[in-house]
Amino acid sequence: MIEFREARHSDLDDMVEVQNAIHRAGLRASPVDAVFVTERYLDPEHSLSCTVADRGGVVVGFQSLKRAWEGNPYGVETGWGIIGTHIHPDAARRGIGRGLFDRSLAAARAAGLAHIDATIGADNSAALAYYAAMGFAPYRDGDGAVPHRFDL
């Protein structure tokens, strides 16, 4: 059984492991550490939500939603949403991504967002398929990535 809830600092080690498992599977360019995950997902200034998928007390995936800020590294227009999805490869294809997106979509609506960007590596076929299934569509050129957008 999967429980979806907001991320907590006590989830840090599991969140690091999720991203490093993705790296070991060849789907992420580099490993991460606790500092990276804390700064990027647990304490970000522009966060709207960070939802985890908890299976029996272990985080097997998470999704963050931030409001784009001036000069963000993705080139996303200020005020849009920026979403990122991270699911442990052992937990993939079990509906976790859809459950995470349901919660992020509710947070986006509550924040009054009009668009959400998902910038996806051009070689990440699983992520490209996931975001397409959620209703995202490519909308501009990216440098080694395919920026997708979801209109609310």
CATH number of 2-151: 3.40.630.30
Q: Which is nearest to 100 in space by CA: 40, 53, 56?
A: 53
Domain boundaries of the chain, sorted by first residue: 2-151
Predicted confidence at residue 8, as pLDDT, reads 97
pTM over 0.85: yes
Q: What is the mean pLDDT of residues 82-111?
A: 95
State how far Cα 101 lies from the chain centre: 9
Does 51 or 145 have the greater pLDDT score?
Answer: 51
3-state secondary structure of 14: helix
CB atoms within 10 A of CB 5: 12
- The residue-averaged pLDDT of 97-123 equals 96
DSSP assignment of 61-118 equals EEEEEEE--TT-TT-PPTTSEEEEEEE-GGG-SSSHHHHHHHHHHHHHHHHT-SEEEE
Res 57: pLDDT = 96
pLDDT value at position 143?
A: 82
